[in-house]
């Protein structure tokens, strides 16, 4: 048997996805940080904030009360009821517990939705740029993601006309995030209405990733599922990760028609077998305090966003897109003469600042980097200082500094 190469399923390659390499710098930076090296990690959306005390204490009390056994496969009834009520009170349609499946974070919800809705040969339209896992999430089940570029001219606004033109007889779905990661764009009422009209006409599913909904600053978040004729064809995915600084708790959900939830129960039986009950109890507490917690989070992230935007302004070679929501800033670095991949790699090597090459999010983001503002303001300012020093060594011939675009 020596020297025999064992074979893996093609699924292993499909899960890798083209965007997987984008995380290399991030993983290197995290390892360096663990060794005590002087690096600043702005390459991931994991806030440095603590989970609210009331949520932690709820989980601790549940643990001590013995909530350590198996739980309901699709989620405990009190949590599903709390999720449905939260969804409805924040612009959703009148969903109930039977419309909710609890999953291990929004990413797990996206994967489950893909497995349940699409099959080999199906095409799923994806608004570009999109989160790096979307491609592999769809390809895992054999579906083909078809990226639809945004409107030309910058700003990363969706282009409904291009979406309509991309429809083929093989199209079975439309997937997008609002607010968007990486751009921070929040889809407007008109944009959502146009997408909903296309989905109804083409009779396709919509998978709406709304994990950043509570972190909208200037723009108002709206649910496409609440539009006429959309509740029965929309899967809304979200979680407590961003709104409550609970990334490590892995508590998310899918909201959709009862038939979807019934199928989700069968899938969860195979891959999850229910989430820890003490975490679900904490989730009920988190949702009971959701509005107050989200308001505090928005205040923190708006302040950090504004601080970072101010610090980035005037840096040679950068053109910055102010985000409407979320915890990321997109910056066009093409004026430096470097590709976004080379920029991110050299910035880390020379200044110890880890950012993400945004081309991993799609062709429309080529030439951009994504910076997260998940750290305290003094760390953000230091990162901007290092970024400015790096850019000045590359952009000696530029007459103008960075500008908001």
Closest C-alpha to 253, from 233, 232, 275, 271: 275
Token reading at 74: 């699709």
Stretch(es) of the chain classified as CATH 3.90.1150.10: 19-48+292-391
Q: Is the pLDDT of residue 397 over 60?
A: no
pLDDT per residue as tens digits for the range 51-108: 999 999 999 999 999 999 999 999 999 999 999 999 999 999 999 999 999 999 999 9
Closest C-alpha to 346, from 385, 384, 391: 391
Q: Is the pLDDT of residue 359 over 80?
A: yes
User: Percent of the chain having pLDDT more than 70?
Assistant: 95
What is the per-residue pLDDT for 19?
61
* 32-61 burial code (b ≥16 CB/10 A, e <16): beeeeeebbbbbbbbbeeebbeebbebbee
pLDDT per residue as tens digits for the range 120-173: 999 999 999 999 999 999 999 999 999 999 999 889 999 999 999 999 999 999
Stretch(es) of the chain classified as CATH 3.40.640.10: 63-288
What is the per-residue pLDDT for 20?
62
CATH of 63-288, picked from 3.10.129.10, 3.40.640.10, 1.20.1250.20, 3.30.70.1070, is 3.40.640.10
Q: How far, in Å, CA of 34 to CA of 64, rounded?
A: 32
The pTM of the whole model exceeds 0.85: yes
What is the per-residue pLDDT for 3?
65
Whether the bond between 301 and the residue before it is cis, its omega within 30 degrees of 0, is no
Segment 343-363 shows an average pLDDT of 95
What is the per-residue pLDDT for 228?
97
For 19-48+292-391, CATH number?
Answer: 3.90.1150.10
Q: How far, in Å, CA of 130 to CA of 337, rounded?
A: 25
What is the per-residue pLDDT for 45?
87
What is the per-residue pLDDT for 313?
95
Q: How far, in Å, CA of 177 to CA of 157, rounded?
A: 12
CB-count exposure of residue 72 (10 Å: 0-12, 13-18, 19+): middle
pLDDT per residue as tens digits for the range 93-133: 999 999 999 999 999 999 999 999 999 999 999 999 999 99
Segment 392-403 shows an average pLDDT of 55
Segment 226-238 shows an average pLDDT of 98
């Amino acid at each position: 048997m020596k020297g025999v190469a064992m074979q893996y399923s093609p699924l292993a390659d499909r899960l890798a996805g083209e965007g997987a390499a984008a995380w290399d710098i991030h993983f290197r930076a995290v390892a360096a940080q663990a060794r005590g090296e002087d690096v600043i990690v702005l390459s991931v959306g994991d806030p440095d904030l603590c989970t609210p005390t009331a949520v932690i204490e709820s989980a601790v009390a549940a643990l001590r009360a013995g909530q350590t056994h198996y739980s309901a496969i699709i989620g405990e009834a009190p949590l599903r009821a709390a999720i449905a009520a939260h969804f409805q009170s924040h612009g959703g349609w009148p969903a109930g517990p039977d419309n909710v499946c609890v999953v291990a974070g929004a990413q797990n919800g996206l994967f489950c939705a893909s497995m349940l809705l699409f099959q080999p040969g199906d095409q799923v339209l994806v608004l570009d740029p999109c989160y790096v896992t979307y491609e592999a999430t769809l390809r895992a089940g054999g579906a083909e993601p078809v990226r639809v570029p945004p409107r030309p001219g910058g700003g990363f606004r969706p282009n409904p006309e291009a979406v309509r033109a991309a429809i083929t007889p093989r199209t079975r779905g439309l997937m997008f995030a609002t607010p968007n990661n990486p751009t921070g764009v929040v889809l407007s009422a008109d944009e959502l209405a146009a997408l909903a009209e296309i989905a109804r006409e083409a009779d396709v599913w919509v998978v709406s990733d709304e994990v950043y909904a509570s972190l909208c600053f200037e723009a108002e978040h709206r649910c496409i599922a609440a539009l006429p004729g959309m509740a029965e064809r929309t899967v809304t995915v979200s979680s407590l990760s961003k709104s409550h600084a609970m990334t490590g708790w892995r508590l998310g959900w899918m909201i959709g028609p009862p038939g979807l939830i019934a199928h989700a129960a069968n899938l969860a039986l195979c891959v999850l077998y229910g989430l820890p009950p003490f975490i679900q109890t904490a989730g009920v507490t988190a949702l009971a305090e959701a509005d107050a917690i989200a308001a505090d989070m928005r205040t923190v992230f708006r302040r950090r966003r504004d601080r970072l935007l101010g610090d980035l302004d005037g840096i040679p070679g950068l053109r910055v897109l102010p985000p409407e929501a979320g915890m990321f800033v997109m910056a066009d670095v093409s004026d430096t003469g470097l590709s976004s991949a080379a920029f991110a790699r050299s910035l880390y090597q020379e200044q110890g600042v880890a950012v993400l090459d945004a081309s991993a999010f799609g062709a429309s983001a080529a030439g951009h980097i994504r910076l997260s503002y998940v750290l305290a303001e003094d760390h953000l300012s230091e990162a901007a200082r290092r970024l400015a020093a790096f850019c000045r060594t590359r952009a000696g011939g530029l007459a103008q500094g960075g500008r908001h675009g």
